[in-house]
Amino acid sequence: MWLIAAFILAIACVNFINLSTAQAVNRSKEVGVRKVLGSKKIQLQMQFLVETFLIVISAVILATGITLVVLPYVNRLLELSIAFGVLGSNTIILFLLAVTAAVTLLAGFYPSIVLSRFNPVTALKSKLTAATTKGISLRRGLVVFQFIIAQALIIGTIIIIKQMDYFMNQPLGFDKDAIVSVPFRIDSVRMSKMDYIKKQLLAMNAVQAVSFNSNTPVEDNNDTWSTLKFDHALKEADFKAITKFADDQYVPAYKLTLIAGRNLQPSKMTKEFLVNESLMKSLGINNPDEILNKQISIWNGNIKCPVVGVLKDFNDRPFRNSPAPLLIATNNTMYNQVAIKLSTTSIAGTMQSIKSLWEQTFPDYVYEYRFLDEKIGSFYKQENQLAQLYKIFAAIAIFLSCLGLYGLASFMAVQRVKEVGIRKVLGASTAGIVYLFTKEFIILIAIAFAIATPISWYYMHSWLQDYVYRITISWWVFAAGGLAAIIIALTTISFQAIKAARANPVNSLRTE
């Protein structure tokens, strides 16, 4: 975030340098008169730096006001509670002073040098032209720099959004729709009323299945991990397994797939295990039938049970990780929530009925619930926030780049007004003149695209490595970023180019 903020400030500085040096011709006579009247080069440089400082300090004051307005929306997006007390925070004051000084120097130093070194004789004879104001190659380089940042942000935004869509549409290996989890305390009161709660829930028309368990199929750092011994081995296995406790309705409620053996039998104690494919493969077994009826012991041998079934792998952790080895067993002393599978009709009314049942049965407990699909969505909250921020930053970067292009195109139109008039008199078409204005910018944007593409690929490829389940970066993502930048730039430049091309050549060529 700091890096992106710095780049956006850099784009603003680039705009100022470009426009200041481009308009240097318009201030040539002023510089010439000041030099004739005795102004030294250092005095002129200080004048232009002070002018830049006044612009920057005005921008800082305006930015402070905008921040106060925008901050509540940022807090809502990031789920934070940041307060912005400018006068009460020495850190913020120092930061604003440092930014003001840095931006003043970055934006004002080079234009002040260019403007202060004009020859007064040449300037006063009005023989100074855009070609004699140094910095043409630098100006082009700065335009390229702007669009490298803008295109990198566009490409990064597209990749993050694609990765988020991949998360949300990737099959999990279990049913997550219309399943609500209601937590409760593990105590004797709850245990004595489990059967009653289950019976009452199943009596509701919209309730399709009810399962008591310790965890949902997928958790984010909320699972119990256990060491284990397999088939009477003397040494523990060299890996740990997630251990979930659930009743016999867990598999049908979440529609987990059995590839071998059978489901757990109803039991209040731990008597048998279900395992997943990952645990089986971690033990070096490829045929699921080979692990059936073999003993697994956990918790230092306190629990020893046979394997009665093998589940097809499902995502028991967020998509940043591959499926972990997994054990599922019954044990009603470990259940701390109930999973309720609902039909998709009249969910609101059913939830109200569940709430009434819960408050009647457990009047001393606070009723809470959470839908499984919302829980899974929360695992990717950071990525969602990042995607939203990238969209905002990309829009700001593009907007600032377009402002700079518009300013340069406007200046170019003014400087080349006589050239355009002569070309029109000699038969040039409007399309030809528009092409004359736009071709240089298209070349610069193409250069920026060639530089931004490998940079974007490297950083986004590194970001994707944090996820086991990830998209492959397609060529069209980069093509889309480059095409978007060209279209935006052409739209920005074309207004001034068409205006210049359609001007009456008589007015353009008239001597002042």
> Token digits for 147?
């669009």
Tokens representing residue 392 in the block: 């905002």
* Average of per-residue pLDDT values in the chain: 84
Sign, Cα dihedral of 23, 27, 31, 36? positive
Compute how many other C-beta atoms are within 10 angstroms of the C-beta atom of residue 40: 11
- pLDDT at 122 (0 to 100): 66
Q: Report yes or no: 276 and 325 within 8 Å, Cβ to Cβ.
A: yes
Q: Are 16 and 144 in contact (CB under 8 A)?
A: no
pLDDT-based confidence at residue 306 (cuts at 50, 70, 90): very high
Query: Helix (H, G, I), strand (E, B), or coil: what is residue 296?
Result: strand
Q: Encode pLDDT of 102-153 as tens digits.
A: 888 888 887 778 777 766 666 566 555 544 444 446 777 888 888 888 888 8
SS3 content of the chain, % helix, strand, coil (to 5): 60, 10, 30
Are 135 and 114 within 8 A, CB to CB? Answer: yes
Output DSSP code: residue 24. G
Predicted local distance difference test score (pLDDT) of residue 131: 47
Asked if residues 223 and 261 have their Cβ atoms less than 8 Å apart, the reply is no
Per-residue pLDDT at 24 exceeds 70: no
Give the chain's largest Cα–Cα span.
103
* Neighbouring residues of 113: CB distance < 8 A, sequence distance ≥ 6: 45
Task: Write the single-letter amino acid at 159.
Answer: I
Q: Provide mean pLDDT across the span 86-105.
A: 81
- Count Cβ neighbours within 10 Å for each residue of 401-418 and write b for 16 or more, e otherwise: bbbbbbbbbbbbbebbee
Cβ pair 405, 441 in contact under 8 A: yes
Give the Cα-Cα-Cα angle 100, 101, 105 (nearest 5 degrees). 115
Mean pLDDT of 304-314: 94
User: 253-273: buried (b, 16+ CB within 10 Å) or exposed (e) per residue?
Assistant: bbbbeeebbebbeeeeebebb
DSSP letters spanning 219-285: -SS-SEEE-EEETT-SS--SS-EEEEEB-TTHHHHHTPPEEEE-PPPP-SS---EEEEHHHHHHTT-
- Residue-level pLDDT at 40: 83
The better pLDDT of the pair 191, 376 is held by 376
Which range (32-41, 70-79, 111-120, 295-304) has the least confidence? 111-120
In contact, 312 and 256? CB cutoff 8 Å: yes
Among 302, 306, 311, 309, which residue's Cα sits nearest to residue 294?
A: 306
For the chain, the residue count is 512
The pLDDT, as a whole number, for residue 508 is 66
pLDDT at 307 over 50: yes
- In whole angstroms, how far apart are CA 372 and each of 178, 181, 320, 341? 8, 7, 18, 10
- Which is nearest to 160 in space by CA: 482, 395, 470, 376? 470
Q: pLDDT-derived band of residue 300, with 50, 70 and 90 as boundaries?
A: confident
> Over 50: is that where the pLDDT of 63 sits?
yes
Question: Which residues pair with residue 274 across a beta bridge?
Answer: 309, 328
